[in-house]
Structure 1
């Protein structure tokens, strides 16, 4: 997993068009190729993302993520504050105990 904290702008062009103005954000690239853009506040969901499979191309100005359907996520990086890469290994998965009805009784 690659984690980058950067001052950036983000533009999505696909089923609709979306723009995130310049701000400091967390950019996450998972091993499967999924790219997500997060802010420090709000919900757990990313502000914008592109699910795998996709193609990630990096250049001096930022990242361009393109899906097989032609959708494009352009991340223009103005300043990199941190950039790290980590091998997380195979995830053992979530182990659940109980059922939803039982949890609601508690």
Structure 2
């Protein structure tokens, strides 16, 4: 038995959950917050037999594609007048997923 922990972006989570439940996988959803940009993430947990692990990973991989977003960052520039704030657009990569696969010693469903 394995436990898959997949950390995905909030905007991808609904589609991943729907795709997994359509294939009869049980999914537990936890709302989490990422460290970078304090963006909303969703942590999904799936308990699964070892031979089905790659199938779950493939579903997550298909939906959680990396993409580019533009973020406007304020920058304080110094000057003789005490400084002013300039905003610069910065392109960042978002999306994708982080997946952990963990061995489960015991699984009990009551």
> What is the TM-score when the length of structure 1 is the normalising length?
0.25
> What is the TM-score when the length of structure 2 is the normalising length?
0.25
More helix per residue? 2
Q: Which has the higher contact order (CA 8 A, sep 6+)?
A: 2
Greater Rg by CA: 2
